[in-house]
């Protein structure tokens, strides 16, 4: 299976401050997620985010500086003029925009908000480093780790304790505010079944590997936001009209080579 596409924002005219919209935006495709009456189909826009590239907070933590999502054909042509207070916070009913936006949390430089319809719906951690591994309890010590149950992470670097492997995806089981276990699947994490660590390793660096998806049900028109296949928000407004993917940002990325959004995949295109 293909890894999907990536978006790298190299614009030098990103966010001047958190109060001004100076958007860099474009439509990713045309006639995407069209829903003909004779052949209703589900549609999905899935992606991963690189939270470490975002370092601008927005007061109130209700909307992000960088967004991706779906919008109706009637509104997509004006994407470059969209405002964070209007289209990017829409719940689909006013502008026909279903945006998922990201920004650094105003109270923590290690955490990024995931916002939809004017509220934070989830958080994603930037790179975190463990300080020790306890093979007796199969836990990693990470002071104030900030992870939630079922968050996906990848061991990006460091000395992975056996049988864990660098580059592999695992799912978090929080064990208090300073310790976590890792599970082989989200289902295992929810069940509290962590991986048995047999040989202790050195410090490891964990990075987010969550898969987010904006999905539209082909029959009902319901639009949802999911994280690792678990729905975290349902937009109140439905849509059975053509939806098109978009990218919108007012923050210049911290890297000209690392993608802000990666593994972008679209299904249900007509």
Q: Could you read off the pLDDT of 41-61 as tens digits, one per residue?
A: 788 999 999 999 999 899 999
Taking only the tens place, the pLDDT of each residue in 132-158 is 999 999 999 999 999 999 999 999 999
Contact between residue 268 and residue 218 where contact means Cβ atoms under 8 Å apart: yes
C-alpha neighbours within 13 Å on the C-beta side of residue 188: 14
Token pair recorded at residue 249: 């940002």
pLDDT of residue 252: 75
Taking only the tens place, the pLDDT of each residue in 78-115 is 887 888 999 999 999 999 999 999 999 999 999 999 99
Q: Which range (9-18, 28-37, 92-101, 191-200) has the least confidence?
A: 9-18
Reply yes or no on whether the pLDDT at 30 is more than 90. Answer: no
Q: Which range (5-14, 119-128, 190-199) has the least confidence?
A: 5-14
Contact between residue 79 and residue 25 where contact means Cβ atoms under 8 Å apart: yes
Average pLDDT, the chain: 87
pLDDT of residue 35: 67
**Arithmetic mean of pLDDT, 169-173:** 98
Q: How far apart are CA 64 and CA 17, in angstroms?
A: 13
**Arithmetic mean of pLDDT, 220-248:** 93
Of residues 37 and 119, more confidently modeled: 119
Contact between residue 86 and residue 200 where contact means Cβ atoms under 8 Å apart: no
pLDDT band for 242, please (50, 70, 90 cuts): confident
Listing DSSP states for 31-100 in one string gives STT---TTS---EEEEEEE-GGG---B-TTSSS-SEEEEEEEHHHHTTGGG--TTTGGG--SSSS-EEEE
Token pair recorded at residue 86: 């209007």
Of residues 263 and 14, more confidently modeled: 263
Reply yes or no on whether the pLDDT at 67 is more than 80. Answer: yes
Of residues 41 and 36, more confidently modeled: 41
pTM for the model: 0.89
SS (H, E, C) 241-264: CCEEEEEEECCCCCCCCCCCEEEE
Reply yes or no on whether the pLDDT at 17 is more than 90. Answer: no
């Amino acid at each position: 299976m293909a890894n999907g596409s990536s978006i790298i924002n190299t614009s030098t005219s990103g966010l001047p401050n958190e109060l001004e919209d100076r958007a860099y935006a474009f439509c990713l495709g045309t006639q995407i997620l069209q829903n003909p009456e004779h052949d209703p189909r589900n549609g999905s826009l899935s992606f991963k985010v690189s939270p470490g590239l975002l370092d601008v907070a927005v007061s109130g933590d209700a909307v992000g500086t960088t967004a991706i999502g779906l919008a109706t054909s009637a509104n997509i042509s004006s994407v470059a003029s969209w405002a964070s207070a209007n289209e990017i916070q829409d719940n689909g009913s006013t502008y026909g925009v279903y945006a998922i936006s990201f920004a650094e949390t105003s109270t923590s430089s290690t955490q990024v908000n995931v916002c939809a319809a004017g509220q934070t719906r989830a958080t994603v951690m930037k790179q975190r480093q463990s300080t020790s591994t306890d093979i007796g309890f199969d836990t990693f010590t990470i002071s104030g780790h900030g992870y939630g149950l079922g968050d996906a992470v990848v061991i990006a670097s460091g000395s992975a304790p056996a049988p864990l492997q660098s580059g592999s995806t695992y799912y978090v089981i929080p064990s208090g505010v300073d310790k976590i276990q890792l599970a082989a699947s989200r289902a295992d994490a929810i069940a509290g079944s962590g991986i048995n660590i047999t040989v202790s390793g050195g410090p490891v660096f964990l990075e987010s590997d969550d898969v987010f998806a904006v999905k539209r049900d082909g029959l009902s028109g319901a639009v949802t936001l999911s994280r690792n296949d678990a729905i975290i928000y349902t937009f109140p407004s439905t849509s059975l009209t053509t939806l098109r993917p978009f990218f919108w940002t007012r923050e210049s990325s911290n890297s000209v080579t690392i993608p802000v959004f990666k593994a972008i995949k679209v299904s249900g295109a007509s």
